[in-house]
Amino acid sequence: MARILVVDDDPGLTHQVNTWLTFQKYEVTVASTGQAGWEQLKKNQYEVAVLDWDLPDVHGIDILKRFRAEGGTTPVIMLTGHSSIDDKEIGFDCGANDYITKPFNMKELGMRIKALLRSRVAAPAALAPLGQGNEAVLQRGDLAGTRLAASYEFLDVVGEGAYGIVFKARHPRLDKIVAIKMLLATVTQDTAVARFEREARAMSQINHYNVVTVHDYGLTERNRPYMVMEYVQGESLLDRIRREGPLPLTVASAIVIQICKGLQEAHSKGIIHRDLKPENIVLQERSDKPDWVKIVDFGTAHLVEGDDRRLTAAGAVVGSALFMAPERLQDAAADERSDIYSVGAILFEALTARPIFTDDTVDTLLVSILAKSPEPPSCFRDEIATGSALDHVVQKALEKDPDKRYQTATEMRLDLEHIYNDLFLRRST
């Protein structure tokens, strides 16, 4: 039984269409708003969609454009009172497969649906993937035969976690290396998919040289979300600290100054990272500047304005506890100052090669985060004078009370820039 999605805000019309198509032995789903229609359409689980142009909340034509841009393949019949040839051209250019104007005969709608279903009986030949000898890489992402594999040459797997996998790929026409991040095929939870989409939306809003750039986002034909990102070649700050130990004071300061710059741009867009830690700071070696910072992984990002769905259940902790502000452990709302606490913990570790707390169990660690003040970095490094400006910056960023912390990333950056300039002048004399 073919599944048909009908999206229209006219209850009388949808009742007629539903009754007629059900009589014709179709399985019908009705959505009466644009948002409800989009939520159904993006599932890619219908054989045909009938989509009204003029919906009260989101225009059907905008839904269609977004659906096609994200790789949606369901045939769509535009259902509208727009009868001019120019409007029809717009509809077809946006990806409509057919176009029917109101008022219409139910029998005509039925014939057009049958015609689209017949055209889908013979499955199209699978698209040939780019590159040779990369079948094993494509198999890791279930990508063989997809438009994505025909658009990018997948070269290697460069990272994999509990939920996602990251590929190194090449854009053939631009001869440009990119990173493509996807959810694993085994991940089906709605919260994981929503979090992935949120990461793509958050990162796409930030245009800053210290934050990794997202070029594209979409769904494969198998309903797997993906995002195409800037490929960042380098090592994480965590790997650098493990390899070298405590970083030179100027290097640690310069790195955190760049983190603050990227954060102040994110915060200006109303985006809180919520999972800042050394693993999510990548250091690039550039000819014009060593240790160029890129902030990555906005997978748990919270948008202060706009979509405020809670993707983390009350009492659950997302992110790494060592770098998490105390209020986060008490399920308080995250804001810019929560990220600043994390930056303070990152700076402490960059200066000392040790975490702010070294408790043996999770329970005692959580108690320390909530109740203990971390010792200043001068306790673990002779180069840092007790009560120095560096001590002050770290301790202010790590205050338990958010009101006593730096209130913006810019405030913290300015203090660090003064310290960096003093250190640089001392080294030069």
Active site residues per annotation: 275
Contact 165, 137 (CB under 8 A): no
Contact 227, 180 (CB under 8 A): yes
Q: Which of 34, 48, 39, 44 is nearest to 5 (CA)?
A: 48
Contact 315, 328 (CB under 8 A): no
Q: How far is CA 367 from CA 115, 119, 243, 276, in A?
A: 66, 63, 30, 20
Q: What is the enclosing helix (H) or strand (E) of 169? A: strand 164-171
Q: How far apart are the first and last CA of the chain?
A: 82
Contacts of 401 (CB under 8 A, 6+ apart): none
How far, in Å, CA of 139 to CA of 133, rounded? Answer: 12
Q: Which of 295, 160, 273, 139 is nearest to 214 (CA)?
A: 295
Tokens of 247: 């970083």
